[in-house]
Chain A
Amino acid sequence: MIDALGGLFYFLIALGILVTIHEFGHFIVARACGVKVLRFSIGFGPILFKRTAKNGCEYAVSAIPLGGYVKMEGENEILEKNAPLSKDSFKAQSVWKRALIIFAGPFFNIVLAVILLTIINVNGVQERKTIVGPIAPNSVAYNAGFKAYDEIIAIDSQAVSKWNDIFYELFDGFGKDKALLIDVKGDFGKAQTRTLELNLKNLTIERNEDPINKIGLTVCFGKVTNQIGLILENSPASKTSLAVGDEVVSINGMQIESWYDIRAAIEQSNGNELSFVIKRNGNLYSQKVTPKLEYDKRTHKSLPFVGIGAKVEKVEGLSYKVEYGLLDGFFKACKDSVAMSKLIVTSVTKLIDGTIAASNISGPIAIAKGAQESASFGIIVFLGFLAAISVNLGILNLLPIPVLDGGQLLFLLYEAIARKEPTKKVQLALTSIGAGLLFTLMFFAVFNDILGLMN
């Protein structure tokens, strides 16, 4: 309940900021072009509160907080033929000025993202070396020849130095016929370079799936040993003599090579007794453990559970903090915004071709959840979240769907080429289609959100 309230609170803050910036973009450019603005509203629907300025512009807060609008003189009026347009109306402006006014909204969202990202960069970014942890057996990465502790140095001959770069490149490769060529250096980057072929054609990303994990890769947080690093309280393991520091040598006679073997042995046990052989102080001991079947919310299956975790040995220099100067931070913020924008466009195309499952589409509830979760990690993480949503809002608004800013620009493009407006009938039909598509999408986004909450 408190989570839900917190979610709502941060959701309203996030949305309030983003909507205000967006509409402010339209507003300020419209003013600069000499268009009379009748109303600047945060939220739409019934007006809750308003104040009228001296120049006649109403500043309002309206009931439905999922958006906002700027109402300009003569924007939607159906004019009699040859009726005079007042000079300060939207329609009286040249196509270019009108396009500028429309474009300013999304543009301001992207500007906001750049500013927020600059703040984050100047504050300092925690980076992690591009070294992979244990590889999931029989995964795509495993079959491509990845080994634990490989350092990824290049993808398709393009050098990569951050996990973000790797994420973007790998994500782009999903569903593509052509395999990615990945250069890696084994043993924490000390061994020779190998080139691996990674084909991601047949992979589909379902809801809540991380593309990197889907491939079978993990981020290296240290050396994962076969030693027990923790034992959960009240777990089957806690009722045995297994202790932190024990090295698992074999389970049911199977030699253990990596922690994945331990996990596999437990998963395949079906809840039947497992006999562990462990090494403690150089001596071998045996210990029987009966896994408990526990319901797994994500897979909706009962999975055997023992309650032990691997000991991870620290590796120096895996994680480092980078602080940027103002200018460098700004340049990086610009680059990041471009990369995020590209990611959004790629995501949309992958959603359409089915490489990303439709269940990934999230609506306001998921955004509220994200807002709350990110806020719980502190202001900087929340700013990062805000920047990401802002870029999303900006770019998605530029999609050429009538109702959205991009659709308006499309009409203006037609006007610039054909030297006349699309007829009212065409505009009505296209706008209805746009509204229909968005409404349907919104409906499924909320539907997915609710399914996500129930799981």
Chain B
Amino acid sequence: MLTRILTAIVLIAAVLAWLFIADYPIYAIGTLFMFAVGAYEMGPLIGFKSKLTFLAIATIVITLLFVVLEPSNFVLNIPESAKFIVASGLIVWLGSIPLLLKFPHDTKWHDYKAFSTVIALLMLVPFAIGLLILRANQYPLDKNSGAYLVLSVMALVWCADSGAYFCGRFFGKHKMLPNVSPKKTLEGLAGGIIIALVGMFIFMKLDFFGTYANNPTALTIASVATIIFSVIGDLVESMFKRIAGIKDSGKIFPGHGGMLDRIDSQLAAIPVFLTVYFIANGELF
């Protein structure tokens, strides 16, 4: 228990330092750190015997993207291509819904390593690029504006998680997807959504959303989508772990499991928030 609490304290301090103390390049390195550890843990989940295979693939992909997109320029202008890359994440989060509903049947897709590799890349890459886009918001004007934005989007997920946990505990009756995650209930889901909406309202009042608050309708739609899809992100990781027969994705955080266990919901939340906002705001498609 003590390890769990100590790890949590260190983790929270590290996240706050990453958001509020680090400047943009250091923030980008922190993002790459999460990406790399996530990729390291992802290999076994998608059926690679060696952890290095997927790590190498992911490293090559993100390096090439950094060469092409030059994220250091995000603080001035977000290129259209970066937005499309973030949007590509939705392929997985939408496409995984039928897979989740059918689980534990029809898991044959997992045997195709090339297919699983693409899915895993679409889970990690849009997340990393999305984090860079969010943090860059209004950066030349106010260094911390983007930090509040990232924190808010992440906090939507934390609100949904804890809301679901407590509501599920007290009112939980109807199982949501017992085959994927036996503890999640529909009552919990509803509670999570309500708490997260309250959170969203507070963050809006506190003016945490930077320029994204200029279009309140788009922001609300994006936030609601984020809350719903964060649950899907969680479920998809659970599904991968069940197929691969792995309990914890890693052991980098003593008492809290691996990186992927910590960021599974965020993998969906970040790209969904941005993509839905871009579409609702008329910036994409």
Tell me the residues in window 187-245 of chain B with beta carbons closer than 8 Å to chain A beta carbons. Answer: none
Question: Is B40's CB within 8 Å of the partner chain A?
Answer: yes
Q: Does A437 lie at the interface of the complex (its beta carbon under 8 Å from any beta carbon of B)?
A: yes
Q: Could you tell me if B50 and A437 are in contact, using CB atoms closer than 8 angstroms?
A: no
Distance A432 CA – B36 CA, assembled complex (angstroms): 16
Interface string of B62-77 (1 = CB under 8 A from A): 1110110000000000
Q: In chain B, residues 237-263, which have Cβ atoms closer than 8 Å to a Cβ of chain A? A: none
Most buried by A among B33, B50, B51, B56: B50
Given known A432-B66, A433-B63, A436-B62, contact A443–B36 (CB-CB < 8 A)? yes
Q: Quick one: closest B residue to A434, CB to CB?
A: B63
Instruction: Tell me which of A352, A429, A432, A440 has the highest count of chain B C-beta atoms within 10 A of its own C-beta.
Output: A440
Q: Are B49 and A433 in contact (CB under 8 A)?
A: no
Is A358 engaged at the interface, CB distance under 8 Å to the other chain?
yes
CA distance A429 to B67 in the complex (A): 7
Q: State the majority secondary structure of interface residues on A.
A: helix
Q: Knowing A437-B56, A440-B55 touch, does A351 contact B63 (C-beta < 8 A)? A: no
Q: By the criterion CB–CB under 8 Å, are B50 and A440 in contact?
A: no
B59 contacts chain A at the CB level, 8 A cutoff: yes
Given known A428-B67, A443-B36, A444-B40, contact A437–B60 (CB-CB < 8 A): yes
B103: chain A residues at CB < 8 Å are none
Picked from B33, B50, B64, B66, the residue with its CB within 8 Å of the CB of A354 is: B50
Q: Is the CB of B52 within 8 A of A352?
A: yes
A residues within 8 A CB of B3? none
CB distance from A174 to the nearest CB of B (A): 12
Tell me, yes or no, whether A316 is within 8 Å of chain B by CB: no
User: Does B48 sit at the interface, judged by CB under 8 A?
Assistant: yes
Interface of A toward B, CB cutoff 8 Å: 204, 351-355, 357-358, 428-429, 432-433, 435-437, 440, 443-444
Chain A residues in 8 Å Cβ range of B52: 351-352, 354, 358
Q: How far is the CB of A439 from the nearest CB of chain B, in Å?
A: 8
Q: Is the CB of A433 within 8 A of B64?
A: yes
Residues of A within 8 A of B48 (CB): 354
> Is B107 on the interface with A (CB-CB < 8 A)?
no
Closest-CB distance, A372 to chain B (whole angstroms): 27
Q: With A and B bound together, what is the CA distance between A353 and B48 in angstroms?
A: 8
The distance from the CB of B56 to the nearest CB of chain A, in whole angstroms, is 6
Chain B residues positioned under 8 Å from A204 (CB to CB): 49
Say whether A432 contacts B67, CB under 8 Å.
yes
Query: In the docked arrangement, what's the CA distance between A355 and B48, Å?
Result: 11
| In the complex, chain B residues whose CB is within 8 Å of the CB of A440 | 36, 55-56, 59
How far apart are A346's CB and chain B's nearest CB, in angstroms? Answer: 14
Q: Which residues of A contact B56 (CB under 8 A)?
A: 437, 440
* Cα distance A443–B36 in the bound complex, in angstroms: 9
B36 to chain A: which residues have CB within 8 Å? Answer: 440, 443-444
**B residues near A351, Cβ cutoff 8 Å:** 50, 52
Assembled-state Cα–Cα distance A357/B40 (Å): 12
Instruction: Choose one: A354, A432, A433; the contact of B53 (CB below 8 Å).
Output: A354
Q: What chain B residues lie within 8 Å of A433 (beta carbons)?
A: 59-60, 63-64
> Separation in Å of the B62 CB from the closest CB of chain A?
7
Contact of B63 among A357, A432, A443 (CB under 8 A): A432
Q: Residues of B contacting A428 with CB < 8 Å? A: 67
- How long is the Cα–Cα vector from A352 to B63 in the complex, in angstroms? 20
A242 and B62 alpha carbons, distance in the complex (Å)? 64
The reply to whether A432 and B64 contact each other, CB–CB distance below 8 Å, is: yes
Q: A433-B60, A437-B60 known; A352 and B53 CB under 8 Å?
A: yes
B53 and A436 within 8 A (CB):
no
Q: Which residue of A lies closest to B63 (CB)?
A: A436
Query: How far does the alpha carbon of A204 sit from the alpha carbon of B50 in the complex, in Å?
Result: 10
Chain A neighbourhood of B53, CB < 8 A: 352, 354
A355-B49, A358-B50 given; name 6 further pairs at CB < 8 Å.
A358-B52, A429-B67, A432-B64, A436-B59, A440-B56, A444-B36
Interface CB pairs A-B, < 8 A, 5: A352-B53, A354-B49, A432-B64, A436-B62, A444-B40
From known contacts A437-B56, A437-B59, A440-B59, infer whether A353 and B64 are also in contact, taking CB-CB under 8 Å: no
Cβ of B5 to closest chain A Cβ, rounded Å: 19
- Cα distance A432–B50 in the bound complex, in angstroms: 23
For A443, list chain B residues within 8 Å (CB). 33, 36
State the Cβ distance, B191 to closest chain A Cβ, in Å: 38
Given the known interface contacts A432-B67, A440-B55, the answer about A353 and B50 at a Cβ–Cβ threshold of 8 Å is: yes
Give A357 Cβ to nearest chain B Cβ, in Å.
Answer: 8
How far apart are A350's CB and chain B's nearest CB, in angstroms? Answer: 9
Contacts of A358 in B (CB 8 A): 40, 50-52, 55
* Closest A residue to B49 using CB positions: A354
CB distance from B57 to the nearest CB of A (A): 10
Contact A429 B64 (CB under 8 A): yes
Contacts of A435 in B (CB 8 A): 63
Chain B, residue nearest A439 (CB): B59
- Produce 1/0 per residue, B99-110, CB < 8 A to A: 000000000000
Contact residues, B3-53 vs A (CB, 8 A): 33, 36, 40, 48-53
Task: With both chains docked as a complex, state the minimum distance between the C-beta of B251 and any C-beta of chain A, in angstroms.
Answer: 9
Q: How far is the CA of A428 from the CA of B63 in the complex (A)?
A: 11
Q: Is the CB–CB distance between A353 and B49 below 8 Å?
A: yes
CB closest chain-A residue, reference B35: A440
Q: Are A352 and B50 in contact, with the CB atoms below 8 A?
A: yes
CA distance A435 to B66 in the complex (A): 12
Q: For B62, what are the chain A residues with a Cβ–Cβ distance below 8 Å?
A: 436
- Nearest A residue to B56 via CB reads A437
User: Whole-angstrom distance between the alpha carbons of A433 and B60 in the complex?
Assistant: 5
Partner of A436, one of B40, B49, B51, B60: B60
- Complex alpha-carbon distance, A437 and B56, angstroms: 6
Q: Closest B residue to A350 by CB, please name it.
A: B50
Whole-angstrom distance between the alpha carbons of A357 and B48 in the complex?
A: 12
Q: Considering the chains assembled together, what is the distance between the CA atoms of A91 and B199 in angstroms?
A: 62
Q: With both chains docked as a complex, state the minimum distance between the C-beta of A356 and any C-beta of chain B, in angstroms.
A: 8
B53 and chain A: residue at smallest CB distance: A352
A437 contacts across to B, CB distance below 8 A: 56, 59-60, 63
* CB-CB nearest in chain B for A361: B52
Which residue of chain A lies nearest to B68 when distances are taken between CB atoms in the complex?
A429
Q: How far is the CB of B71 from chain A (nearest CB, A)?
A: 13
Shortest distance between the CB of A17 and any CB in chain B (Å): 30
B12 to chain A, nearest CB (A): 21
A444 to B52, CA, bound (A): 10
Q: Which residues of chain B from 116 to 147 have any CB-CB distance to chain A below 8 Å in the complex? A: none
Complex: A432 Cα to B69 Cα, angstroms: 13
Contacts of A357 in B (CB 8 A): 51
Q: Chain A residues with Cβ under 8 A from B55's Cβ?
A: 358, 440, 444
Contacts of A432 in B (CB 8 A): 63-64, 66-67
* CB of A453 to closest CB in B, whole Å: 15
A440: nearest residue on chain B (CB-CB)?
B59
